[in-house]
A and B are shown apart, each in its own frame.
Chain A
Amino acid sequence: MKKIRILILVLFAFFAIFSLITFEKYSTDTFKEKGEITSLLFNLKILDNELNYEVLKTSFFLYQNYDNIVNIEKRIEKNLKALEDKKECFKSRALKEEIEDLVKSFEKKFKYVEDFKLYNSSIKNSSLYLATLLNRLNTLNLNHTGYEKLVIKAISTIFLSKNSFDADFVEELKPVYKRLKLYRFKDKKLQKFHKILTVHINIFIKNFKRYKESLNAVLNSDTKEKIYSIEQRLNLIFNKELQKIGYLFKLIIAVYFIGLLSIIYFIVKLDRENKNLMQLQEKLKIQAITDDLTDLKNRKAYKKDVRGVKKPFFALVNIDGFKEYNNFYGIAMGDHILRQSAKILKKGVPAHYSAQFYRIGADEFGILIDEDIPINSYAFSQHIIEIFSKTPIKFKNIETPISVSIATSRKRPLLETADLAMKYIKRDKRNHYITYSDKLGLMQEIKENIKRSKILKNAILNDRVTIYYQPIVDNKTAKIVKYEALARVRHINGKIESIHPYLKIAKEIGLYEEITKKVLELSIAKTERVKKEIAINISMKDIENPDFLINLGKLIKKYPEAVKHLSFEILESETLKDYEAVKNFVSIIKAQGGKIGIDDFGSGYSNFAHIFHLDIDFIKIDGSLIENIDKDHISKVIVENIVKIAKDANITTIAEFVHSKEILEVVKEIGIDCSQGYYLGEPEPFI
């Protein structure tokens, strides 16, 4: 398209230049021709007049230089020749014929001029000589006065007729001539005079008419009319040419106009395309900062906008339990909830705040306001929470009540502080609103986390994660039957600390698996060496992790003697999901000669049926049930029942957190098989 456009423009330019050149050439040629031919005709007119004038002058004077006539004729011939050369430039046949006619006319005229010269010479010769004779009249011996009168009459008549060009005088001369001819003289001189006189009078009479005719023929020749006629025809032709030039000029103007229009058209079109392009760009820009699902601005837009706000007020709105909706009803429902929530949110914030709405995360929205008017963040949040509670979301005839939690903040970085505050209230499910303040200590927690992650990383890097072993004692024999392997972090100053405070951060920064691996290796190697019963803690997560299983397999192969002495205490059994995976693990370990137990049994909601189906060897009753068992009646009842069931299922029971003699007594009384706790033995690095 672009190429065609350029091509059209280039063609147009060429055409325009070509037509201009043609126009210029055509008009120049036309005017040049006209100029030349007009000047030729003008010359001819003047020369024709000059010729007439010269002929007249010649006729007037007694003698005249014929060269003048000849020269004029030559000049006329030259002009005629040029004119004849020019006639080929014209298409008009009539014009050519007229020019040829003019040439013929001039040829004829020149012939008349020759005739004139011929007769003029004879007439002048005679009149000249007659004048000479008149002078001689006195010298003659004249006795006849009548003769003298006749001579004078004849000569004067000749001069009269010559000067008047009137043939009537010649008629008058004829009888005089007749009478003169009758004279004969004896005087020889007189007779000679008489003879010459009569001969010349006779010549005059004979030639005068032709002389007059030839002069008239010259003066009345049609050359003038012919030149005029050619001029007329030329004018006609040139008028036509002029008209043509006029048309051509108009055509060129039209072509230029069209050219101009098309250029304007192209420019306008280009402009429009540019506009479209710019609109598209704008759209893309908007798209880039818009959330597709809710049509709110996205997180990117928030980051940009927040910089421009002088006095920001930010509210982070989280849909409570959104994951459950998604899981329970499907993604379509989840999307619907998000869309509706966005709408409710917009409705819930009064327009005078000029609030900006963002979708910050999966189930989190942000409201950004430049706080010109002080906002009561509690009332603000409460209003929104109420609107949500009053507006259940309907999807496929299912009405779902929605509740939201709101964390507001005025402290930059707004999103981060609001998020921290949000986490704070999420711990306590009864509370749906919080506004961030430094007093929340959340920032402190983050600092602590950062510090711990540093310590942990250092410890792993420098092999300062170590294992302590706490003895487990048989309640009947009071002998140590087993040790529980417990991971410890040794600080640079040698201080030993439990790994528990670090586990959460380890999970967050992805060090958990490494720690597990370390603990596993150290513990198994120790078991192989000391050939004593040792229990290792593993979590449900570990069992579900194939890498963990592969690693465990390798260690068992590496330390073949250890497995008979090993026990695995499964932590967090309440989160058990993949039942089959655990079953598999249990059967593998048991096939190798190892034992399986459940840690913290009785905490939270434990699915007894599930667990007892797993063919486990022991359970470790949760420490929270044991630590006050000597005083807490309910705990004691619960434990008694657990023990009863375990005994029925032939499962060994272990009590932890046995920190006093009293507790040990109760534990023994209930019939728990083994005990563990500070009263019986603290964790030690060596066994």
Chain B
Amino acid sequence: MKILTVVLIFFTYIFSKEPIEPIPLSLSYDRQKALLGKRLFFEKLLSKDKTISCASCHRLKNGGADKNSFSKGIGGREGKINAPTVLNAYFNFKQFWNGRADTLKDQASGPVHSKDEMGMTKEQILKRLNSHPQYRKLFKKVFKTDKIGYDQIMEALAEFEKALYTPNSKFDRFLRGEAKLSPLEKKGYMLFKKLGCITCHNGVNIGGNSFQKMGLVIPYDKLALADRYQVTKEPKDRYVYKVPSLRNVTLTPPYFHDGSAKTLQEAINRVSYHNLGFKLSKKEIEAIIAFLKTLTGKRPDILK
């Protein structure tokens, strides 16, 4: 009987090549355009009361995410979902927690118009930027037009976000055979695969390439916020979110779509409980955190 199981397991344990890929060392992008996007990213003119910029919530010093569970928009209004990191967002297959935008360019438009975030209309933005001589000059340089277009603003922002990639993490170097993981890190990675984390967190971004259910095994104990159901209206998509990337995960607390996990430990604990059906031991968590720490990459060049 044991032999049979071993054979069975052997039979099925066919692993393909590593299911995680390193971030490319360099990504080509239009630097002029990206720099213009960078300026726009920090531009408070894009919010109604000129108090909020993209960077207000996607804090680049905080791993491109917010320290708060929910970000504060114009007039101190609170958002309904945790701000995800902009770092490596380019590698996500869709944008927003529920994947309602296909591209970064589409995504950028969202917060700008949101009542709770920046609260602007297209026309207002265009009026503000077109009456800004410096922006007119910069746009002319990049897009060769006298009049700034809305599409161009989004394009510039998206180009900047594309530039926000963090290559050369320790784990990437390990994948490329350039570095060795410590035993603990190695153990963490093995657990990550063995426990089944890898089934959802895979690919370049270690996540960000599928929608999965929060509370697969044991239902999630909080309200569903802006889940996939909002997009598909299919009951099975309740509590379904785009799997978040684990790149630079140590830099971006709090965790989960609702920002309810304050620490990495808590996040691992809760996710294993809900999605694996049990809680991990302290040693296991320690190892996994050690592994997760190796996922912190180099600060993007464009931010230097």
A65 contacts B20, C-beta separation under 8 Å: yes
A134 contacts B5, C-beta separation under 8 Å: yes
B195: Cβ under 8 A from any A Cβ = yes
CB-CB nearest in chain B for A114: B211
* In the bound complex, CA of A238 to CA of B71 (Å): 57
B223: Cβ under 8 A from any A Cβ = no
Q: Which of B252-294 contact A (CB under 8 A)?
A: 275-278
Contacting residues, chain B, for A121 (C-beta < 8 A): 199-200, 210, 212, 216
B104: Cβ under 8 A from any A Cβ = no
A417: Cβ under 8 A from any B Cβ = no
Contacting residues, chain A, for B276 (C-beta < 8 A): 125, 129, 196
CB distance from A258 to the nearest CB of B (A): 52
Of A118, A124, A134, A196, most buried by chain B (CB within 10 Å of CB) is A118
Interface-facing stretch out of A156-164, A166-174, A291-299: A156-164
A248: Cβ under 8 A from any B Cβ = no
B275 contacts A118, C-beta separation under 8 Å: no
Query: Chain B 1-20 against A: per-residue CB contact (8 Å), 1 yes, 0 no?
Result: 10011001101111110011
A61: Cβ under 8 A from any B Cβ = yes
Of A121, A127, A128, most buried by chain B (CB within 10 Å of CB) is A121
A200: Cβ under 8 A from any B Cβ = yes
A64 contacts B202, C-beta separation under 8 Å: yes
B217: Cβ under 8 A from any A Cβ = yes
Contacting residues, chain A, for B9 (C-beta < 8 A): 131, 134, 159
B203 contacts A61, C-beta separation under 8 Å: no
- Sample (30) of A-B pairs whose CB atoms are under 8 Å apart: A57-B16, A61-B16, A62-B12, A62-B14, A65-B20, A65-B203, A66-B210, A67-B21, A67-B93, A67-B202, A67-B203, A67-B205, A70-B93, A70-B203, A114-B211, A118-B212, A122-B212, A122-B216, A125-B199, A125-B200, A128-B194, A128-B195, A128-B199, A134-B5, A152-B5, A156-B8, A159-B11, A163-B11, A203-B217, A210-B236
B16 contacts A118, C-beta separation under 8 Å: no
A120: Cβ under 8 A from any B Cβ = yes
* In the bound complex, CA of A200 to CA of B218 (Å): 10
B193: Cβ under 8 A from any A Cβ = yes
B225: Cβ under 8 A from any A Cβ = no
Contact for B198 among A63, A69, A149, A159, CB less than 8 A: A63
Q: Which of A57-84 contact B (CB under 8 A)?
A: 57, 60-67, 69-70, 73-74
Contacting residues, chain B, for A129 (C-beta < 8 A): 195-196, 276-277
- Contacts A118-B212, A149-B1 hold; do A65 and B278 have CB atoms under 8 A apart? no
B48: Cβ under 8 A from any A Cβ = no
Query: Chain A 111-122 against B: per-residue CB contact (8 Å), 1 yes, 0 no?
Result: 100110110111
B158: Cβ under 8 A from any A Cβ = no
* In the bound complex, CA of A196 to CA of B13 (Å): 21
B118: Cβ under 8 A from any A Cβ = no
A-binding residues in B (CB < 8 A):
1, 4-5, 8-9, 11-16, 19-21, 93, 193-196, 198-200, 202-205, 209-213, 216-218, 232, 236, 240, 275-278
A128 contacts B203, C-beta separation under 8 Å: no
CB-CB nearest in chain B for A116: B210
Contacting residues, chain A, for B11 (C-beta < 8 A): 159, 163
A152 contacts B210, C-beta separation under 8 Å: no
Contacting residues, chain B, for A70 (C-beta < 8 A): 93, 203, 209
Q: 13 more A-B contacts (CB under 8 A) besides A61-B14, A67-B202, A122-B213?
A: A61-B16, A62-B199, A63-B198, A64-B19, A65-B16, A65-B19, A65-B20, A124-B196, A126-B196, A129-B195, A149-B1, A192-B278, A199-B218
Interface residue count on the A side (C-beta < 8 Å): 44
Of B9, B14, B218, most buried by chain A (CB within 10 Å of CB) is B9
B21 contacts A65, C-beta separation under 8 Å: yes
A132: Cβ under 8 A from any B Cβ = yes
CB distance from B229 to the nearest CB of A (A): 13
CB distance from B37 to the nearest CB of A (A): 22
* In the bound complex, CA of A62 to CA of B13 (Å): 7
CB-CB nearest in chain B for A149: B1
Q: Which of A500-520 contact B (CB under 8 A)?
A: none
* In the bound complex, CA of A156 to CA of B211 (Å): 28
A155: Cβ under 8 A from any B Cβ = yes
Among all A-B residue pairs, the 10 with the closest Cβ atoms: A67-B203, A125-B196, A66-B209, A117-B210, A70-B93, A128-B196, A199-B277, A124-B199, A65-B19, A121-B199
B12 contacts A162, C-beta separation under 8 Å: yes
B216 contacts A132, C-beta separation under 8 Å: no
* In the bound complex, CA of A40 to CA of B93 (Å): 23
CB-CB nearest in chain B for A160: B8
* In the bound complex, CA of A292 to CA of B192 (Å): 130
* In the bound complex, CA of A210 to CA of B234 (Å): 14
- Contacts A62-B14, A114-B211 hold; do A152 and B1 have CB atoms under 8 A apart? yes
Contacting residues, chain A, for B240 (C-beta < 8 A): 118
- Contacts A131-B13, A134-B9 hold; do A63 and B211 have CB atoms under 8 A apart? no
Q: Which of A171-224 contact B (CB under 8 A)?
A: 192, 195-196, 199-200, 203, 210
Contacting residues, chain A, for B93 (C-beta < 8 A): 66-67, 70, 73-74
CB distance from A252 to the nearest CB of B (A): 44
A200 contacts B217, C-beta separation under 8 Å: yes
Contacting residues, chain B, for A115 (C-beta < 8 A): 236
Of A66, A162, A210, most buried by chain B (CB within 10 Å of CB) is A66
Contacting residues, chain A, for B5 (C-beta < 8 A): 134, 152, 155-156
Contacting residues, chain A, for B212 (C-beta < 8 A): 117-118, 121-122
Contacting residues, chain B, for A120 (C-beta < 8 A): 199
* In the bound complex, CA of A196 to CA of B200 (Å): 19
Contact for B202 among A63, A126, A128, A156, CB less than 8 A: A63
Contacting residues, chain B, for A74 (C-beta < 8 A): 93
CB-CB nearest in chain A for B212: A121
* In the bound complex, CA of A127 to CA of B212 (Å): 17
Contacting residues, chain A, for B205 (C-beta < 8 A): 67
* In the bound complex, CA of A192 to CA of B202 (Å): 28
Contacting residues, chain A, for B16 (C-beta < 8 A): 57, 61, 63-65
CB distance from A131 to the nearest CB of B (A): 5
Of B5, B21, B211, B236, most buried by chain A (CB within 10 Å of CB) is B5
Contacting residues, chain A, for B4 (C-beta < 8 A): 152, 156
* In the bound complex, CA of A127 to CA of B198 (Å): 13
B12 contacts A159, C-beta separation under 8 Å: yes
* In the bound complex, CA of A66 to CA of B16 (Å): 12
CB-CB nearest in chain A for B102: A77
CB distance from B27 to the nearest CB of A (A): 15
* In the bound complex, CA of A124 to CA of B277 (Å): 14
* In the bound complex, CA of A199 to CA of B15 (Å): 25
CB distance from B284 to the nearest CB of A (A): 12
Contact for B15 among A61, A66, A118, A195, CB less than 8 A: A61
B19 contacts A63, C-beta separation under 8 Å: yes
